[in-house]
Amino acid sequence: MKVAIIGATGYSGAELFRLLQAHPHVDRCDVYSSSQDGVHLSESFPHVGAVDGAVLHKLDIEALAKYDAVFFATPPGVSGEWAPALVDRGVKVIDLSGDFRLKDGAVYERWYGREAAPAAYLKRAVYGLTEWNRDAVREAELLSNPGCYPTATLLGLAPLVKERLIEEDSIIVDAKSGVSGAGRKAGLGTHFSEVNENVKIYKVNAHQHIPEIEQMLGTWNGAMKPITFSTHLIPMTRGIMSTIYAKVKQPFSLNDLIDLYKTSYEDASFVRIRQPGQFPATKEVYGSNYCDIGLAYDERTGRVTVVSVIDNLMKGAAGQAVQNFNLMMGWDEVEGLCFLPTYP
């Protein structure tokens, strides 16, 4: 199996390279970049070392068409331009950007501020929230990997929304991310002096992941209303914590709530439900493909609290991409991902 990564000089691309280099079914993993050609990946990431085949190549459609699968770990706009031609040539495409997540091109253009991919390919793209879309992922030719915030939030909300247990207009999400979620490009907002010993909110009511979350919630329950979604930057490298609040339609016990989640995810190798009174921390999924979920129900307010944590570069990006890749190729979805989190 021959695969290629476009955008290997970013954090998600580097994680993909790490995972695919060790994947039991991948014989060759080549790396491509729109900005570098003929440079070894170790020039950008010394931890890679002198790995064979890790010399960056410039983008060339005919060269890329020779791979069994191509991963896009690129900023918005790149895969929308290049992926359709690869799909037309029979290459499996896994896109980690947001270019194919939204089915309505006008919505994409409003939230991303750029031209959408061709409508025919938006329609063909399969949304790769693996635990809730396995059958479609298995048949996918163009796979749109979910965003990091949507992954944590949707996995946390799915059982409640699908079972219609919460008021459709009551969802509030308070999400927090480590600095690697902003990417590797230097900027004032991620400068050490700006981030260290500091917590700040950003993109208030304007984060591009809002329509992605609402689109999936609406698929599960057509009566869903817009959500309140806030994002915060935390002075840590990796991790996302999505704390979700919603009003329940009918009172229920915490044990019933936990039983619902355990049943919903009984076949999900990478979703772990905590016991009553236990809540996950970001470090407890660090470097892994796990999503850990803790639950609480407040009888006084009639609100449920869901705490969902992931590693933004793994389950929120590269790990879930490999999980989807496995299904697309007909393998067990856990291949190349069976390792515990790194702790502490």
pTM: 0.97
| Closest to 253 in 3D by CA, of 300, 301, 305, 298 | 298
Which residues have CB under 8 Å from 43's CB, separation 6+?
A: none
The yes/no answer on whether domain 149-312 falls in CATH 3.50.50.60 is no
pLDDT digits (tens, 9 = 90+) for 317-327: 999 999 999 99
Q: Is the pLDDT of residue 223 over 90?
A: yes
Domain 2-124 sits in CATH at 3.40.50.720
The tokens of 170 are what?
């009551």
Q: What percent of the chain has pLDDT over 90?
A: 96
Task: Measure the CA–CA gap between 46 and 235, rounded to whole angstroms.
Answer: 24
Please report, as a single letter, which amino acid is at residue 136.
Answer: A
Q: Which of 29, 148, 291, 338 is catalytic?
A: 148
Please report, as a single letter, which amino acid is at residue 103.
Answer: K
Contact 139, 279 (CB under 8 A): no
pLDDT at 227: 98
Which residues have CB under 8 Å from 24's CB, separation 6+?
A: 335, 336
User: What residue ranges do the domains of the chain occupy?
Assistant: 2-124, 149-312
Task: Measure the CA–CA gap between 210 and 214, rounded to whole angstroms.
Answer: 6
pLDDT at 85: 98
Reduced DSSP (H G I as helix, E B as strand, rest coil) percent helix, strand, coil of the chain, to 5: 35, 20, 45
| Section 217-233 average pLDDT | 98
pLDDT at 115: 98
How is 256-276 classified by DSSP, letter by letter? HHHHHHHHHTTT-TTEEEPPT
Phi, psi of 172 (to 5 degrees): -125, 130
Same topology between domain 2-124 and domain 149-312:
no
- Given pLDDT bands bounded at 50, 70 and 90, which one contains residue 1? very high
| Closest to 2 in 3D by CA, of 72, 95, 67, 89 | 67
For residues 101-128, one letter each, b for 16 or more C-beta atoms within 10 angstroms of the residue's C-beta and e for the rest, the string is bbbeeebbeebbeeebbeeebbeebbbb
Contact 315, 288 (CB under 8 A): yes
Phi, psi of 182 (to 5 degrees): -85, -5
pLDDT digits (tens, 9 = 90+) for 76-134: 999 999 999 999 999 999 999 999 999 999 999 999 999 999 999 999 999 999 999 99
29 is catalytic: no
pLDDT at 182: 87
